[in-house]
Structure formats: structure tokens, C-alpha cells
Amino acid sequence: MVSVHPHNFRALSACLGPPVPREGLRGYLIEAAPANACHPIGGPPAGGNSSAAFIVLISRYDCPLGVKILHAQQAGYQAAIVHNVNSEKLVTMVTNVEEIRQKVGIPSVFTGESASKQLRRVMGSEKGIHRRPIRNVCDLHGRV
């Protein structure tokens, strides 16, 4: 379960990169451009005095999930939220590509379409992402 005040939604942590910290992550949510992050994406705005992180919202499909997360990291985001399209089904984000697995160093979660709509309503404002423990294949079998 992930919380972006005042919204709660179901999400699964990726099995690559670190998990969202237990204390959560406070930051600004920005939609990826291009939205699917299959190619390098634009980074967060420069400047600002906030110590808050920049978190990117990415749509599923068109390329491997690990590529999306790596593009988010390379653009300068501190976390990524990947959402399903036309579905609430949650999937565990993994990669079989060792090079991507070794390079990913930001936390990411996967969520459904309705959560992405809620998130777009708070986009641009500084909100916290808080992880509430749920059973996750990564936690049950160790991180991949």
C-alpha cells in the first residue's frame, strides 16, 4: 500500500533498485515525457530550494519496465511510479537484464490506472509517498 496524502492506493515495489524507504519519500510528482519512458525522458525542473525529491509518473507498455526505471534515474528523478493502462492489475517489476539490474539505484512501485488518475490530481504539489508494508514477492524471496 502506498499513500500520497490524502490518497491511499495499492502498489507493488519493484524487484530491482532499493525499496521505498519505510519512512516514505517526500517529493514533487511529475509526469514523464514521453509518458511511457521508453526513450530518455526530460528531467525534473532545475533549481529550487526544496530538499524534496522529484518522483516521476510513467505509463506501462511499449518497452521493458526496467528500461523505464533506468531512464527515470538517468533523468535525475529520485523515485518512479509506473502505472498500468486500462487495468488495476498489479505486476511485479523485474528485469532479466543484469546490466539494468545493476544500474538501477532508485526506488519504484507499480500501481493501477485509477491510482494514476488520483496522482495526476496532486501533480506538481509537494506530497509524501509513504509505503505501508504489504506482502510482495520481492520481500518473500529476497530482492532479485
Between 38 and 46, whose confidence is greater?
Answer: 38
Domains within the chain, CATH numbers bracketed: 2-39+52-141 (3.50.30.30)
Whether the predicted pLDDT of 74 surpasses 90: yes
Q: Which residue has the cell 525534473?
A: 44
Task: Tell me the H-state helices in the chain.
Answer: 65-75, 98-103, 113-122, 137-141
pLDDT band at 142 (very low <50, low <70, confident <90, very high): very low
Q: Which residue has the cell 509518458?
A: 35
Model's pTM, two decimal places?
0.83
Q: Quick one: DSSP state of residue 112?
A: -
Distance from C-alpha of 114 to C-alpha of 29, rounded to nearest angstrom: 16
